[in-house]
Structure 1
């Protein structure tokens, strides 16, 4: 069974995941190798990985939140093959398009959650780990020759909630689709939980009808895998207050917060959002309480690579 040593690991990242990758390198106790980049006047981008690659174990950290970031991860994988890396191991902290994992029959829709994941897999990395996926369906978008793993942050979420030390907390799922996961968290925390009744009437529009009275006189923590526009989260928060919640906060791994989501969430009276540093550029401030997934990624890579 193959093992490796820390001095045989080369850890790189796509540009937008540089900060997180540096934290992972510290947690793994390996050097961080900065990719050399420059853009030519015609828009073409030059990449180079300094140092020896042949025979070494490459680690690539890269969120795929937009087209450029995805292409850069694919370029890094292919480049490592070109220079004869011994193994190529990829961590995708945030995977874009992951909610588009299926298409309606006869619609002509492109299920980009699947098609974009296939683009990654066609570059033939040895291992790909995804953090807190919206759907595990994309894990199987390959021919069986790639080791994939859904890396879940449940223990980090539980530690964060437990540290609040408040007996009046209740966990709330923004819809029934996430209720089983939220119920699992609540069980491990010995806390009550409930789910909002939500209908989707457009691609990015939802209507939240009601929340159980279990939230009455409690602090409701709305738990989800990501916040994008924040629309359903805001509606769920309003229903929690109508059901008697004393206060509302949000817990979500991926803090995308596109457009005016942040301002609208604050305008809705929500004073705290807890989440991870998986989405590029997210840092703690007066609204966001951000914890790092770097130690967890490092732990997973050390196990995957069998570092001795």
Structure 2
């Protein structure tokens, strides 16, 4: 019996291309599955092969349509459980609802916790994810959670640019730790933008830039870009403070609402993202570069399957060049 004979990977409809790349990295076929909606919008799943006692991984980002992607994952997990899968790992490259991780207003939900409970109740035994919006979401699960990060992938891309005077800028105080780690990877100084959010309407008010970006090649770094309001305002502020060139990078390119239009007319020269979320054609701007997380996920899945250290996945996957996919 081969090492991966009982390793099976399935995917829903959220990001099948990423799942195919992960399978290509491991050199196994993608599992056969049907996932579709009836005319009444009910989701139906049929597993097309035996999974009895197999180590099964389901790759499904919570990308648009978000609620449908979540329901697909839950139903797939339920189908696998009822088909006697040995262990089920939910691979969630992008964990939607991550921003709703605490009660910061009266009478509001903690939806990130609710989703964690749903995944556990559905029958998942483990979760593998990338760059959660808030680290405490790991604690919302009563099953093991492996959170990987795409920062080394993004950092390597900028290292290869050999920028002469890079400065990493955090677009808000909440992203400071992530930006500091990214700056350490590049051996670059750090600057921080202090901002205040106005209610729940995705509008922000920039207050201050802490640090020096004059004549610098600025790299704005965040975990996700949603409507692109914060990142484009941050870029304009850096430009006003004398930045020479402005780049931006994030793991999850949500790019909802007016994001593409804002980015197109912003002073950001290049936006570097990963393929945790697929970009439809209308969101593909010339200034957007997409790097693949498939080697990172593939290496992590192999290590979970064989019982090896997942924390060493970065080192093993780094032997291959992180591919650009767009």
- Please name the residue that 2:30 is paired with: 32
- Asked if structure 2 preserves the Cα contact closer than 8 Å seen for 1:209 and 1:239, the reply is no
Aligned pair 1:223/2:221, yes or no? yes
Unaligned runs of 5+ in 2: 309-326
- Please name the residue that 1:73 is paired with: 73
- Please name the residue that 2:123 is paired with: 124
User: Which whole-Å CA distance do the structure 2 matches of 1:238 and 1:93 have between them?
Assistant: 30
User: Which whole-Å CA distance do the structure 1 matches of 2:123 and 2:299 have between them?
Assistant: 23
How far did 1:4 drift? 8.1
Unaligned runs of 5+ in 1: none
Aligned pair 1:7/2:5, yes or no? yes
1:21 pairs, out of 19, 22, 42, with 19
Q: Deviations over 1:21-51 (max 9, x none)?
A: 0000001111112421343333323211111
- Please name the residue that 1:134 is paired with: 133
- Asked if structure 1 preserves the Cα contact closer than 8 Å seen for 2:236 and 2:267, the reply is no
- Asked if structure 1 preserves the Cα contact closer than 8 Å seen for 2:34 and 2:45, the reply is yes
Instruction: Please identify, of 276-285 and 239-248, the stretch whose mean Cα deviation from structure 2 is larger.
Output: 276-285
- Asked if structure 1 preserves the Cα contact closer than 8 Å seen for 2:168 and 2:220, the reply is yes
Instruction: Please identify, of 273-282 and 65-74, the stretch whose mean Cα deviation from structure 2 is larger.
Output: 273-282
User: Which whole-Å CA distance do the structure 2 matches of 1:59 and 1:101 have between them?
Assistant: 25
User: Which whole-Å CA distance do the structure 1 matches of 2:170 and 2:277 have between them?
Assistant: 21
- Please name the residue that 1:291 is paired with: 291
User: Which whole-Å CA distance do the structure 1 matches of 2:274 and 2:280 have between them?
Assistant: 8
User: Which whole-Å CA distance do the structure 1 matches of 2:146 and 2:91 have between them?
Assistant: 9
1:182 pairs, out of 179, 198, 222, with 179
User: Which whole-Å CA distance do the structure 2 matches of 1:296 and 1:208 have between them?
Assistant: 35
- Please name the residue that 2:255 is paired with: 257
User: Which whole-Å CA distance do the structure 2 matches of 1:264 and 1:250 have between them?
Assistant: 13
User: Which whole-Å CA distance do the structure 2 matches of 1:130 and 1:253 have between them?
Assistant: 12
Structure 1 pair 128/4, CA: closer, same or farther in 2 (3 Å)? farther
User: Which whole-Å CA distance do the structure 2 matches of 1:259 and 1:197 have between them?
Assistant: 24
Q: Deviations over 1:208-233 (max 9, x none)?
A: 12324521011111000000011111
* 1:37-56 correspondence runs (5 A): 37-56=35-54
Displaced runs of 4+ in structure 1, greater than 4 A?
282-285
Q: Deviations over 1:273-298 (max 9, x none)?
A: 10100013368651210000000001
Give the 3-state SS of the residue equivalent to 1:222 in structure 2. strand
Q: Which has the higher contact order (CA 8 A, sep 6+)?
A: 1
User: Which whole-Å CA distance do the structure 1 matches of 2:206 and 2:2 have between them?
Assistant: 51
- Please name the residue that 1:114 is paired with: 113
TM value normalised by structure 1? 0.93
Report how many aligned residue pairs link the two structures: 303
How far did 1:9 drift? 1.3
